[in-house]
Structure formats: structure tokens, C-alpha cells
Amino acid sequence: MPARRFPAPGRPARVATLSVHTSPLDQPGAGDAGGMNVYIVEVSRRLAARGIEVDVFTRATSSELPPVVEVSPGATVRHVSAGPFEGLGKDELPAQLCAFTAAVLRAEAQHEPGYYDVVHSHYWLSGQVGWLARDRWGVPLVHTAHTLAKVKNEALADGDRPEPRARVIGEEQVVAEADRLIANTDEEARQLVRLYGADPARTLVVPPGVDLDRFAPGSRAAARRAVGVRDDAVVLLFVGRIQPLKAPDVLLHTAARMLADDPALRARLQVHVVGAPSGSGLDAPRQLEELARSLGIGEVVRFHPPQPPARLAEFYRAADVTVVPSHNESFGLVALESQACGTPVVAAAVGGLPTAVRDGVSGVLVDGHRADDYAAAVRAVLARRELLAAGAGRHAAAFSWDRTADALVAAYTSAAAEMAAPQARPLRDRRPGRLRALPGMGVAR
């Protein structure tokens, strides 16, 4: 393996970031684009601002995409040809991992040995590629799962499809191979250890952040004018991909329950849904609209396509409450963005949402997915909105992408130092949770 080139004071100079199944340039809220896309863009920009070059490798989904796109000085997205440009679903991408890996290795081979100092993979498909690149280049593999199949399968929504066994096996392999696992929250770290046998010493908690300049409090009246909402409206907001996992149907049932309890509210209530069908939601892309009509609330529900960040911030500011009723969330960037804009959140008490939302301070957490419980939570927020709005802003201010980037740099540096230590270079057994030592060497524990 080539000698590693870490400049003083030990920080990496270049990071190869892998995002096989979705480009960080894609609009979040549709298809496979979501919080992970935001995460990669924001972290890449901030690493580049710290003098660390970042190349993000992602699969090209159109022949018209340029080979290289500069996100910011020092941060680039590289489109890799792997399979047909269009028409491939996420479940079909494992067959293209060999082609994707070959393209990544060829890109590195055009440079002097030791060009990249770290591989950071996002989602299990990228982890499979990162595992091979790590072994080929002799650099640390840092992996962020974003979502976990075993966790999703434990909390399936009605009508949703379980994650396939192939993904479970792939995740187990990546967990066993990664030099550092980055969890968004303490709960995710515990899930990695409990469900996947992850080594706690290699599992680090690095919370995502929020762009506190873009998502910030502002005039609610001005925001309402910008998005076409009356000043006296009671506005409930959902932002995200339209699929059973995200449970937008819970919000519609909640609105119907609120109107049944208080018919006079119908003149003022507005439910805004910002997003597009994704995943198993593509099987019935009009289902949510049909549900609104069947519940008798079609006239109070408004559907919007995914919005660019500046426009999305206006939706957050215009809302009285943002509702995040997901069956599972590794973190919940929507909740954090909403709070940063001064809008409290009602969210399911699952996954990372108890970290993203401070119950009783920046919003209300709800156990389960009963419409009655969500309706009660929304009414509780409306009754204390000004106090919770102030708490939401304070809570969100504790999260920033700069802190995330600094923690990742520390993880990259410590993983590289560990790899460079001769006594700590075990050859990992391919079975999850097991290590086998090289002859004459002990196993690091």
C-alpha cells in the first residue's frame, strides 16, 4: 500500500466521497433525493472551505450531465457512467456496482499514488464501493448509513415494502469493513451496535447541521404573502418525499380529526404538502390526493412540488406548525430546518427526531401514529406557539454544518492515524463483527 500523505497537522488533503444512488445536485423531496443530498453538499462545501478538496462520485442519470460540476471552490461532483442513464431504480443498482467501482478506481489511477486520503461513503451501496477502494488505495473508509434496513423493517408503515435481504447483508458487510461509522444520533449508534454488531470504538456520533443563514426566522406575514397564504389561516406543513415511510397520510387524518372536533376551523385551516412521490409511493402517486378527497378535506389541502431552499424557507416561516410523522428518521433535517426558521414542530418520537426536536421546548413529540394524538399535539403547539417558536430557534442554533464538518475532519484524521499504526492494521474477516489478525499481530479491540 502506498505511504499516506497527510499534511501537518495530520488533516486529510483530499476526500473521495461516494454517493452511488443519488446525486447531491438533485432536488431534495423527490425520487431518492432527501436529507442525504443536503448533507453531502453542505459538508463538501465546508470541508473545501477548510482547505480539504472533495470529489463526490455519483452515478450519471442523463447523457446531458457534464462529467464534472464544481459545487464550490475545492468541492466537485463527478458523474460516473454505470449502467443506463435512466430507468434504473435503487433496487437495481447493485448490478452496476462493479461498473461504478471500476470508474472510481480509474479516476484515482490518473493521479499519483496516494491522491485521496480518505473515502467517505454514504448509504450502503456506496459503502460496497468504498470498501473496495479502501483496500485498493490503503486509506480509511468512513461510512454514513443515513438509513438502516433492519431499523426500517422494524417500523414498516402499512402497505410499505420491507427492505430486501440483499441490502441487509450488504449493510452488515460495510459495517464490518468501515474504519469509522458515522451515526447521526446516539440512538443510531446504539442501533448499529445492537442490530449490526458494530464496534462501539469505531462508531462515532456526528449530528448533521442546518444552514443557519438560509433557514432563519423572518416575517411570517411576508412569508405568507410570498407563498399565497392568508394572514388569518392556520397552516400545517409537511415537507418531504411522498411515501408511506414519511407518513404524510397521518397529517391528513390529523387535519380531518381537527375539523371534526371544530367545524368552524374549516374556514381557516390549510394543509400544505411540499414534496413528490418516492419509493413505494410511486406505486400510487395520486393516493394522497385521493385520501384528502375521501376524508372530505380536499379543499383545505394544497400540494406543491419540491422547492429550492430559499423558497422552502418561506414555506417554513409561513406555517404555524410543521408536522413530521415519519415511521422512521435517522435524524430529520426537515424538523431542524423548520425550527431554524422559528416554526415549531410536531414529530413522531422515532429514530433521530427526539434529538432534532426538543419535546416541550421547540415542539412536541408524539408516540405512535394515531390522528387523535397528533391533533392534540398540534392544538398544544398552537396554544403556545410564540413560546415554542422562540425555543425552536434556540434549539436549532445548536446545530451547524461547521460543527459537523469539524467533527468529520477529526474522524478522518483519527482513522488515518490508526491505519498508519503497524500494530493496529488487522485484516478484517468478511463476517460482520469479526476481525482476524495478520500473522504476528494482535487484533485491535
* pLDDT profile of the chain (445 residues), mean per 10: 48 95 74 80 96 95 88 95 75 86 94 95 96 96 95 82 92 97 96 97 96 95 96 97 92 98 97 83 74 96 94 98 94 95 97 95 97 98 98 96 96 93 54 34 31
- What's the confidence (pLDDT) of residue 1? 46
- Known binding residue 241? Answer is yes
Q: Tell whether residue 343 is among the known ligand binding residues.
A: yes
Please indicate if the annotation marks 307 as binding a ligand.
Answer: yes
Q: What pLDDT shows up at residue 155? A: 80
Burial (0-12, 13-18, 19+ Cβ within 10 Å), 73: exposed
Give the model's pLDDT for residue 372: 98
Look at residue 7 in the predicted model and tell me its pLDDT: 46
Q: Say if residue 147 carries a ligand binding annotation.
A: yes
302 is in an annotated binding site: no
Which residues, 6+ apart, have CB-to-CB distance to 262 below 8 Å? none
pLDDT value of residue 422: 65
CA–CA dist 84, 75 (Å, integer):
26
At residue 86, the pLDDT reads 72
143 marked as binding residue? no
In this predicted structure, what is the pLDDT of residue 5?
47
Instruction: State the CB neighbour count (10 A cutoff) for residue 384.
Output: 13
Start-to-end Cα distance in the chain: 23
59 labeled binding residue: no
pLDDT at site 65: 86
Residue 37 known to bind ligand: yes
- Asked whether residue 21 is marked as a ligand-binding residue, the answer is yes
**pLDDT tens digits, one per residue of 10-19:** 789 999 999 9
**Residue 123 in marked binding region:** yes
Beta strands in 330-413 (DSSP E): 345-348, 363-366
Residue 397 labeled ligand binder? no
pLDDT of residue 91: 77
pLDDT for 127 equals 97
Whether residue 337 is annotated as binding a ligand: the answer is yes
Report whether 120 belongs to an annotated binding site.
no
